[in-house]
């Protein structure tokens, strides 16, 4: 069972906002993935000795799944489409930490290259491969979809929502807005769903970091078809490609770092750019930003940013 994460006060864009430090949840198992995977941590899985996941070789979920497996005494197999040669040469970040936890990272492209009988059909995904070729031969394995986008995530995200509810009640807060940037939208959706169903005066605002607003709405609908329970999406105003480097992201990250808290470089910079714009228009509601962890990813992202834009402005 995860303990409560602290809430701090944080100065941003001339305002005091609150910061839910989910990055400090647990030394090995923190942030967004710890919430999504909490169900697996808290429940017994009789007969299970392995967890199988998939995604990118630098994903936070790779490291978090490896940490979960270690805590549970399970083996962890993680399937990736390919592993970039620079990661293989000099492992860092989530990849290196997962390997250190004993995870097998399985590169599908080289597996298929070495075994031509595993012909890949057009449009065939990592998940198809796992479901069709791996799971039938692994009766003791538990499969967790990419990034933890599944109904199981509701369990841990609702615990986060309950922590926020208690915190807001203790302060007699009204009209609290909870802000967090979204990828699959799983965390934002289950948070808002909790607040709506409990008829609380708390609502979730988010922005689409992966894909656009339409994509994010679709992701919400896959988990919950009731639009009235979906979080409000604040439009980003410009098309960004997930994982690409943008000078305004780096500048925002540096500004945030100067205030003493380290954020990650994929989701948080855009999150704060959108929040800054929102704060210009909305002056009254208290805001709670959720720090969703993911800091290990900076070990690979930060050198990329420094190579491209230098260290200007870094403290």
Ligand X SMILES: Cc1ncc(COP(=O)(O)O)c(C=O)c1O
- Which residues form the interface with ligand X (CB under 6 A)? 31-32, 60, 147, 181-188, 264, 267, 292-294
Residues contacting 269, CB < 8 A, separation 6+: 246, 248, 249, 250, 252, 253, 256, 263
User: In the bound complex, what is the minimum distance in angstroms from residue 105's beta carbon to ligand X?
Assistant: 18
From the CB of 96, what's the least distance to ligand X, in Å?
A: 17
Minimum Å gap between C-beta 152 and ligand X is: 13
Q: Residue 50 CB, nearest distance to ligand X (Å)? A: 22
Contacts of 24 (CB under 8 A, 6+ apart): 5, 6, 30
Q: How far apart are CA 50 and CA 72, in angstroms?
A: 9
Cβ-contact 276, 289 below 8 angstroms: no
Shortest distance (Å) from residue 293 CB to ligand X: 5
Nearest to ligand X by Cβ — which residue?
294
CB of 51 closer than 8 Å to CB of 142: yes
Are 272 and 12 in contact by the 8 Å Cβ rule? The answer is yes
Q: Which CB sits closer to ligand X, 63 or 120?
A: 63
Q: Which is nearer to ligand X, 138 or 276 (CB)?
A: 276
Least distance CB 130 / ligand X (angstroms): 19
> Which C-beta is closer to ligand X: that of 93 or that of 293?
293
Nearer to ligand X, 91 or 147 (CB): 147
User: Which class for 67: exposed (0-12), middle (13-18), buried (19 or more C-beta within 10 A)?
Assistant: buried
Q: Output the smallest distance, CB 156 to ligand X, in A.
A: 11
Pairing of strands 7-12, 75-80: unpaired
SS3 20: strand
Say whether 104 sits in a helix, a strand or coil: strand
Q: Is the dihedral of CA 234, 240, 241, 243 positive or negative?
A: negative
Quote the least distance from Cβ 145 to ligand X, whole Å: 11
Q: Which residues contact 170 (CB under 8 A, 6 or more apart)?
A: none
DSSP 254-274: HHHHHTT----SSSHHHHHHH
* Nearer to ligand X among residue 183 and residue 269 (C-beta): 183
Residue number, 18 or 117, with CB nearest to ligand X = 18
For residues 180 and 164, the answer to whether their CB atoms sit within 8 Å is: no
Name beta bridge partners: 232. Answer: 205
Nearer to ligand X, 46 or 227 (CB): 227
Q: Of 65 and 69, which has the nearer Cβ to ligand X?
A: 65
């Amino acid at each position: 069972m995860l303990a409560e994460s602290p809430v701090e006060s944080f100065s941003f864009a001339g305002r005091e906002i609150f910061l839910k430090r989910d990055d400090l949840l647990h030394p090995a198992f923190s942030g967004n993935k710890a919430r999504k995977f909490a169900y697996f941590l808290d429940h017994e899985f009789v007969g299970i000795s392995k967890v199988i996941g998939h995604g990118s070789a630098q994903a936070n979920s790779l490291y978090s799944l490896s940490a979960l497996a270690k805590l549970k005494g399970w083996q962890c197999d993680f399937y990736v489409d390919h592993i970039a040669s620079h990661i293989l040469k000099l492992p860092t970040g989530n990849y290196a930490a997962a390997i250190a936890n004993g995870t097998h990272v399985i590169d599908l492209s080289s597996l298929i290259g070495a075994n031509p009988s595993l012909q890949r059909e057009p449009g065939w995904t990592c998940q198809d491969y796992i479901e069709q070729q791996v799971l039938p031969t692994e009766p003791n394995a538990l499969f967790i979809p990419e990034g933890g986008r599944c109904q199981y995530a509701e369990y841990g995200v609702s615990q986060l929502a309950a922590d926020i509810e208690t915190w807001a009640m203790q302060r007699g807060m009204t009209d609290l807005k909870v802000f967090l940037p979204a990828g699959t939208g799983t965390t934002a959706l289950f948070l808002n769903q909790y607040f709506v169903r409990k008829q609380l005066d708390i609502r979730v605002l988010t922005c689409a970091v992966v894909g656009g607003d339409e994509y994010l709405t679709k992701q919400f609908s896959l988990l919950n078809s009731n639009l009235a329970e979906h979080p409000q999406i604040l439009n980003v105003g410009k098309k960004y490609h997930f994982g690409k480097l943008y000078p305004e992201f780096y500048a925002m990250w540096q500004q945030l770092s100067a205030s003493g808290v380290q954020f990650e470089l994929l989701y948080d910079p855009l999150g704060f750019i959108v929040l800054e714009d929102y704060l210009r228009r909305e002056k009254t509601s208290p805001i709670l930003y959720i720090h969703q962890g993911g800091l290990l990813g900076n070990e690979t992202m930060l050198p990329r940013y420094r190579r491209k834009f230098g260290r200007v402005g870094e403290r």
